[in-house]
């Protein structure tokens, strides 16, 4: 439980980005509250990669170590819960949690990430983050040269499969229905011996999230080791939109170079603000947000 209900900064989301921002603010002697429900988007992913000094570490181990280090700064407090309401006040903001607890703050940092919209394919959810992957920079090395599929269509599918061809040549593009590629794209994929499969998917056969076969509705099957898929998503926390924060065309929170939203006093960082979804990027944007947040608080008092 927290010792107070008024803070200088409330951080909604206590994973990598939120913890990184909290460390910067804690080291700046700021009164900070992190509100977190304990459900990071990569909780099913067995290992994190492409994060220097932590390559191959379990995501939960990284976040646990980060929380321990942030807890060293006694001006930073934690609240285990879900923020469900946020309103503007004369002196800042009020944030209400699912349990009914109300906290006041001068500034808010939203670092709650995004929610992937899992397709209605049996076995997909169980494989997501394990053998159904979103990022070759995070996971491509571990499945290099393996029998791989890209699940996408059209321009996105073409560009995605072109990218993945850097990690493996044993590659096919699954469009899950009629392909919407143009003739030039089809010819180029054929030139690189990348098969286009237009059959509709029925299910993924897997063992503990490790895919073994893709089963199609026409009863055909293919063996596979890894699948890349970029899912549609929504903001995990809807409070930024409720407060008037603008979103980009992709549905990300729109920010400037200092992680500021269009609403004064509201910042955002992590996966909710960038298509570059990785632990390293989340940490960097959180750290970046901490400095201008502190500077803004200084400017408001040094008058």
pLDDT band at 2 (very low <50, low <70, confident <90, very high): low
Q: Which range is least confidently modeled, 2-11, 42-51, 131-140?
A: 42-51
| pLDDT greater at residue 265 or residue 58 | 265
- Classify each residue of 5-36 as buried b or exposed e, where b means 16 or more C-beta atoms within 10 Å of its C-beta: eebbbbbbbbbbbbbbbbbbbbebebbbbbbb
Please tell me the predicted confidence (pLDDT) of residue 46.
82
Specify the pLDDT at position 4. Answer: 84
Q: Cβ(146)–Cβ(168) under 8 Å?
A: yes
**Residue 36 backbone phi and psi in degrees, to 5:** -145, 140
Give the whole-angstrom CA distance, residue 225 versus residue 210.
8
Residue pair 132/124 in contact (Cβ under 8 Å)? The answer is yes
Instruction: Report whether pLDDT(45) > 90.
Output: no
Distances (CA, A) of 150 to 15, 28, 73, 157, 190: 29, 45, 44, 7, 15
Nearest 5°: phi and psi at 219? 80, 0
When pLDDT is cut at 50, 70 and 90, the band that residue 42 belongs to is confident
Mean pLDDT of the chain: 95
Please choose, from the candidates 186, 109, 113, 106, the residue with its C-alpha nearest in 3D space to the C-alpha of residue 153: 186
* CA distance from start to end of the chain: 34
Greater model confidence, 17 or 56: 17
Both tokens assigned to 237: 């926390």
Q: Which position has the token pair 């996971």? A: 139
Half-sphere exposure of 61 (CA within 13 A, CB side): 11
Confidence of residue 12 (pLDDT cuts 50, 70, 90): very high
In the structure, what pLDDT confidence band is assigned to residue 88 with cuts at 50, 70 and 90? very high
């Amino acid at each position: 439980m927290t010792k107070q209900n008024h803070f200088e900064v409330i951080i909604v989301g206590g994973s990598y980005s939120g913890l990184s921002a909290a460390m910067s603010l804690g080291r700046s002697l700021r009164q900070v509250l992190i509100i977190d429900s304990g459900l990071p988007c990569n909780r099913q992913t067995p290992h994190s990669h492409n994060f220097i000094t932590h390559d191959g570490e379990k995501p939960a181990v990284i976040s646990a170590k980060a929380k321990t280090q942030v807890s060293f700064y006694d001006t930073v407090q934690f609240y285990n819960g879900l923020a469900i309401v946020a309103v503007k006040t004369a002196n800042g903001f009020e944030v209400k949690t699912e349990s009914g607890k109300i906290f006041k703050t001068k500034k808010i940092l939203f670092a709650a990430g995004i929610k992937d919209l899992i397709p209605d394919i049996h076995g997909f959810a169980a494989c997501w983050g394990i053998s159904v992957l979103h990022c070759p920079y995070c996971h491509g090395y571990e499945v290099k040269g393996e029998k791989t599929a890209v699940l996408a269509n059209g321009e996105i599918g073409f560009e995605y499969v072109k990218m993945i061809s850097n990690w493996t040549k044993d590659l096919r593009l699954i469009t899950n229905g009629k392909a919407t590629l143009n003739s030039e794209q089809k010819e180029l994929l054929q030139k690189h011996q990348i098969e286009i499969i237009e059959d509709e998917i029925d299910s993924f056969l897997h063992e503990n999230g490790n895919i073994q076969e893709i089963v199609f509705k026409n009863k055909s099957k293919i063996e596979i080791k890894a699948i890349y898929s970029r899912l549609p998503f929504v903001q995990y926390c809807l409070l930024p939109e409720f407060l008037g924060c603008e979103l980009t065309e992709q549905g990300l929170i729109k920010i400037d170079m200092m992680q500021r939203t269009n609403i004064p006093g509201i910042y955002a960082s992590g996966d909710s603000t960038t298509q570059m979804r990785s632990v390293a990027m989340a940490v960097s944007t959180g750290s970046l947000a901490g400095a201008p947040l502190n500077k803004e608080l200084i400017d408001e008092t040094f008058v």
